[in-house]
């Protein structure tokens, strides 16, 4: 049976560092996903949980999966091993204190991951990672300054082991299966792109909580307003 994995990176808003997308954005997304009975996976930074614990408690209780996106939105491949261990230790305590659960899945901020991070995740009892986005030509051409490990662009698209730890990659077909692609492609091209995604056994889609708010000074958002984005998002989930 084909299963779409709908994932959201929940973190402070792009550019401002505020939490508008975390609260009001997720509430709007909830209305759309409830309409189609979709329960997404959220990869959440702990500062968001600490700010809105009641929101995440409620979403967890209704069956939304909540994974870890770091204690704060800091790349794991820039941390020392001791810092990574401290980050996970504080994150696990946060999840237990506020949600009564232990995080088992992880996505690295900026989709950056390294061998040491995988080792530490395994030591702390995590089950899998979902950081990398292979075969994403758009990322290679336009986001090379992010300095994600280049070889990760050519890993298998299916679930596999990366550095000995289970990796469930985000799907891609030249462009990532993400909010960026929804914003850039016109509806007719988006429908063709979705046909290719539908050929995959377990397509994995990702977006950010701040995709659900207006960011006036963003060129990308200038191409596609929030209302247009929500319209395209509904095309996809249908």
- CATH no. for residue 83? 3.20.20.370
Quickly tell me which residue has 């614990």 as its tokens: 53
- pLDDT in the model for residue 223: 78
Q: For residues 3 and 202, is the Cβ–Cβ distance under 8 A?
A: yes
Distance, CA of 105 to CA of 124 (rounded, Å): 11
- Of the given ranges (53-57, 77-81, 140-144, 198-202), which has the lowest mean pLDDT? 140-144
Indicate the pLDDT class of residue 238, thresholds 50, 70 and 90. Answer: confident
67 to 10, 131, 174, 188: CA distances (angstroms): 10, 12, 27, 33
Distance, CA of 206 to CA of 180 (rounded, Å): 9
Q: Which candidate, 162, 109, 172, 105, places its Cα nearest to that of 138? A: 172
213 pLDDT more than 80: yes
Model pTM score: 0.94
Q: Which candidate, 31, 58, 17, places its Cα nearest to that of 230? A: 31
Q: Which candidate, 32, 31, 105, 35, places its Cα nearest to that of 70? A: 105
Q: For residues 119 and 77, is the Cβ–Cβ distance under 8 A?
A: no
- pLDDT in the model for residue 15: 85
What are 85-110's pLDDT values in tens digits? 999 999 999 999 999 999 999 999 99
Radius of gyration of the chain (CA): 17
Residue ranges making up the domain that contains 91: 5-237
Indicate the pLDDT class of residue 214, thresholds 50, 70 and 90. Answer: confident
Helix 81-99, helix 115-123: angle, nearest 10 = 40
% of the chain beyond a pLDDT of 70: 95
In this structure, what DSSP letter does residue 174 have? B
1 pLDDT more than 60: no
Q: Total structural domains in the chain?
A: 1
146 pLDDT more than 80: no
Helix 187-198, helix 226-237: angle, nearest 10 = 40
């Amino acid at each position: 049976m084909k299963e779409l994995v709908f994932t959201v990176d929940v973190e402070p808003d792009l550019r401002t560092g505020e939490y508008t997308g975390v609260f009001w954005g997720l509430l709007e997304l909830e209305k759309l996903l409830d309409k189609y009975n979709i329960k997404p996976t959220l990869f959440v930074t702990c500062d968001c949980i600490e700010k809105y614990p009641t929101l995440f408690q409620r979403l967890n209780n209704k069956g939304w999966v909540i994974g870890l996106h770091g204690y704060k939105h800091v790349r794991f491949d820039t941390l020392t091993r001791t810092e990574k261990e401290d980050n996970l230790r504080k994150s696990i305590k946060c999840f237990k204190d506020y949600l009564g659960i232990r995080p088992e899945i992880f996505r690295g901020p900026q989709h950056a991951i390294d061998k040491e991070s995988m080792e530490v995740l395994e030591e702390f009892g995590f089950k899998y990672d979902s950081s990398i986005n292979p075969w994403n030509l758009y990322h290679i051409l336009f986001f090379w300054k992010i300095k994600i490990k280049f070889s990760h662009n050519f890993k298998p698209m299916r679930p596999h082991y990366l550095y000995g730890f289970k990796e469930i990659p985000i799907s891609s077909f030249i462009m990532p299966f993400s909010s960026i692609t929804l914003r850039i492609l016109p509806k007719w091209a988006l429908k063709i792109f979705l046909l290719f995604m539908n050929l995959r056994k377990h397509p994995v889609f990702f977006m950010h909580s701040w995709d659900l708010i207006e960011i006036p000074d963003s060129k990308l958002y200038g191409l596609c307003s929030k209302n247009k984005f929500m319209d395209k998002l509904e095309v996809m989930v249908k």
